[in-house]
Structure 1
Amino acid sequence: MSANKSLQAMRLYYLKRKSRFDSGLGAALPEAYKKFWAEWKFQEPTFVHQIKKEGKWTRNPLTGQVTPIQNVPIPVLYPPEHNDGIWGGEGIVKGFQQRRPMRRRVPHFWIPSLKSLVVYSEVLDKYMRIVGTDRTIDLIHENHGFDNYLLKTPACDLKSELALKLKQQILKTLSEKTLYPDDPAKRDEVYARYEKYVSAYTPEEIEWYGLNFVEACRKISRLQQEQIVFVPLKHQFREKLIAELKELAKEDPAKETESSSSVSWLSKVNPLSRSIKTP
């Protein structure tokens, strides 16, 4: 008996933490959105502000001591303004700086150098002005274009909502083949170049890609409201009354004429009977 109690007590340490997808509108969200959320929030991003050490162990060259390698990411702050631009994964790093040898270190913030950039999307055939960094420019050049950069980079590295919404728009344009409507030859050429990226997503995943949690809840709420068919109460009460009168007529055939007269009397009194015909 004591073993069972100890087992039950140990299970308390392994209780699943309640998430935003366990109740309310979050529980009604489809798996397609949960897959995007896991890619955006839970997938390990690429190290930007530090160099990742490979392997499991390292040896101190002076002491010879062997220690395990721990790639602990540097805490990075992403302000709300970050969602209005594409910073290439960069953010604000908070730390300390010792500006003089004999002075105490002081708090310091390392802020990325932001620039106004003009990028071109070949799929959307559109020039856009965005706020980015030098790393954003380098990543666009490394991936040979703005579209390739967005389509190749996972959501955890894009981070900003602007980049995710542009990626969703590009994927939707490719999946529906609505690019270059006035130039079929150009459409086929561009689609053949980016077709490989569309195969990784289903149409439902593309539809839910790039939405934050509030936007996803609003969308699922709107879809639920569209599925509900509202029937006015006057129609419900009227059908119920007619059904009861028909049941009374079946029970007592002698009262059938009386029930029919009562129906005609009700149709005269009811002001809505002119617009609604009795079935």
Structure 2
Amino acid sequence: MESRLANGLKLLYFKRPGPFDPGRVGARLPEAYRKFWDEWKVRKPEPVHYVPEPGKWRRDPVTGVVTPVQNVPIPVKYPAESHKGLWGGEGVIQGFTKKKRTVRRNPYFWTPNLKRSVVYSEILDKYMSVVVTERTINLIHKNCGFDHYILKTPACDLKSELAVRVKRQLLTALLKKDYHTDNSEKQKQIHEDYGHYLKSYTEEEIEWYGLTYREACRKLKQSDEAMSEPKPLKHQFRAELLAELLEETLVTDKIVPKESGGSWLSRINPFATKEEKPSA
């Protein structure tokens, strides 16, 4: 009876389709974007709201009982506002508070302490006013600068669409060397300090880095439309005609004089009137 019930539950179970399953637009996305997706959504982030206990087993110092270590992560919620700032991996924790043992517990939300600050990007040579947390500022100081913090931290720990887009701008600027073009010494110094971050990415991966799933699908759709868009044949025929006329002009070495009353193009225009056509 129990086996039949288990088989029935398996029949009622439908796997939720993934973003890259066959039949969806994401199935045709390149491997470069899937690498970013794994770094952003699949990779396990660094613990922020709890301190993981090392090892797999622990022994109670009083009783001597050995129990397995269970590092269960605290469920954290990241609202839409977190993607507009740099929260350093922090989020909103939902729980309960209880003042006394005999009093009923009350729901409570622990939110990070947010404040607006100004950060400076040495590569982009720009000051940016963003909403940050105290942990973000400490991480910037720990990594010796804003650019080092963004480039060194994986997307799963940044936890912000704004942060991954800034990281994409930094990688693109390093790839194209589009920074401090008027100062060669400064450009050389930045390349020596930040150029080693390009070793982990290819040009295609930088092109798809930092895009959301919808943005990546939209980009793929636009590229498909650009490739399949029919081109009018008149452009091809016009180019071929001009090439033939230019070749004949070079071979015969004949130039129409200005006194003839028009150019050589006006002579072969079939829609021109007799008055508009120049005399031979």
TM-score by length of 2: 0.76
Corresponding residue number in structure 1 for 2:75: 75
How far apart are 1:155 and its partner, in Å? Answer: 0.5
Q: More helix per residue: 1 or 2?
A: 1
**TM superposition shift of 1:27:** 1.1
Structure 2 Cα separation of the partners of residues 92 and 229 of structure 1: 47
Aligned counterpart, 2:25 = 25
Letter in 2 for 1:218: R
- In the alignment, structure 1 segments of 5+ residues that lack a partner are 1-10, 234-273, 275-279
What is the deviation of 1:17? 6.1
The letter for the 1-side match of 2:20 is: F
1:207 match: secondary structure? helix
2 CA distance for matches of 1:17 and 1:153? 30
**Other-structure match for 1:267:** none
C-alpha separation in 1, matches of 2:86 and 2:61: 41
Match of 1:132 in 2: 132
Per-residue CA deviations over 1:184-240 (Å, capped at 9, x if unaligned) read 11101111100110111001000111111011111111111111131579xxxxxxx
Partner Cα distance (2:173, 2:232) in 1: 41
TM-aligned CA deviation for residue 63 of structure 1 = 2.3
Structure 2 counterparts to residues 10-159 of structure 1, below 5 A:
18-22=17-21, 23-159=23-159
Q: TM-score, normalised by structure 1?
A: 0.76
- 1:160 maps to 160
Which digits, 9 at most, give the CA deviation of each residue in 1:162-191, with x for residues without a partner?
Answer: 000000000000011111011111101111
For structure 2, list consecutive stretches of 5 or more residues without a partner in the other structure: 1-9, 234-270, 272-280
**Corresponding residue for residue 240 of structure 1:** none
What CA distance in whole angstroms lies between the structure 2 residues aligned with 1:200 and 1:94? 37
* Matching residue of 1:222: 222
Partners of 2:123 and 2:232 in 1: CA distance: 48
Q: Which secondary structure does the structure 2 equivalent of 1:199 belong to?
A: helix
Q: Which amino acid letter does the alignment assign opposite residue 18 of structure 2?
A: S
Partner SS, residue 200 of structure 2: coil
How many residues get paired?
227
Name the CA distance, whole Å, in 2 between partners of 1:99 and 1:16: 43
Whether 1:200 aligns to 2:200 is yes
Report sequence identity in percent.
54
Per-residue displacement from partner, 1:40-80 (whole Å, max 9, x unpaired)? 00101000000011101011223221111111110000001
Counterpart residue identity of residue 225, structure 1: E
Which amino acid in the other structure matches residue 41 of structure 1? K
